[in-house]
Structure 1
């Protein structure tokens, strides 16, 4: 890999996305364990979508901010709607990991907070990618 190569940029982006994912998980666990009731719950919902966004960037480091945010929002909403089937609740009864990923019961306000997380994640991703007015992944003015 040569400095400034596309491969080098993708590796750096993946490392940043992985680090961001760890920070988001820590923030989510922290807010859930220390924040008051609904504040913690809805902040956790927004951070869930931000985490999904960081994982999208980890898998596809050249993804544009809007696509990453839209994918994360779509996934989060799909998981929420999947809860209407009862399958996530059944899975959660047998696995803490399933409960963390899929939740247990549908809650319509969660959809709004997923959108908040997607907008926040979009803004951060866009700011990082367009630092100094130049798109770091593609070298084009944004």
Structure 2
């Protein structure tokens, strides 16, 4: 199996795991932990989607795209459009949210930065493993 296919498979498994964790936390907890973990885990899902779409993307660019998307969606909630769409569909509510929360803006990077670091580390390790050994 090619590296691109493995990457995409890993991103699907990761996204499902992050979604499962978010819904499990939501089912068992209430309050700030539920809210903040939900923001961080939703940003992690966005990161996995970015890497799924562009498997060869750099970790920094993927992280920047994921955080920018999350911030765009969050600030769009200052308008009535996401809230109106979210009232009509559970799925839309999961994607767009319903109301702006400035704290979420800070929590999106918390969900993405560890993935950027892991992605960068794995990519660097893969490159060093595939580099020819120097002999004297």
Greater CA radius of gyration, 1 or 2?
A: 2
The alpha carbon displacement at 1:21 in A equals 0.9
* 2:134 corresponds to: none
Closer, same or farther in 2 for the Cα pair 1:86/1:66, shift >3 Å?
A: same
Structure-2 residue corresponding to 1:55: 49
The one of 122, 125, 132 equivalent to 2:119 is: 125
- Per the alignment, residue 134 of structure 1 pairs with 126
Unaligned runs of 5+ in 1: none
Aligned residues: CA RMSD = 1.8
Deviations 1:26-63 (CA, angstroms, capped at 9, x unpaired): 11111111123111110010001100000011111011
Looking at structure 2, the residues matched to 111 and 62 of structure 1 have their Cα atoms a distance apart, in angstroms, of: 27
- Which sits farther off after the overlay, 101-110 or 119-128? 119-128
Q: Aligned residue for 1:105?
A: 99
- Give the total of aligned pairs: 131
The alignment's TM-score, normalised by the length of structure 1, stands at 0.85
What TM-score do the two structures reach when normalised by structure 2? Answer: 0.89
Matches within 5 A, 1:1-142: 8-130=2-124, 133-135=125-127, 139=130
Unaligned runs of 5+ in 2: 132-136
- How far did residue 124 of structure 1 move? 2.6
Alpha-carbon distance in 1 for matches of 2:101, 2:65: 20
SS class of match (1:105):
coil
Distance 2:54 2:24 in 1: 28
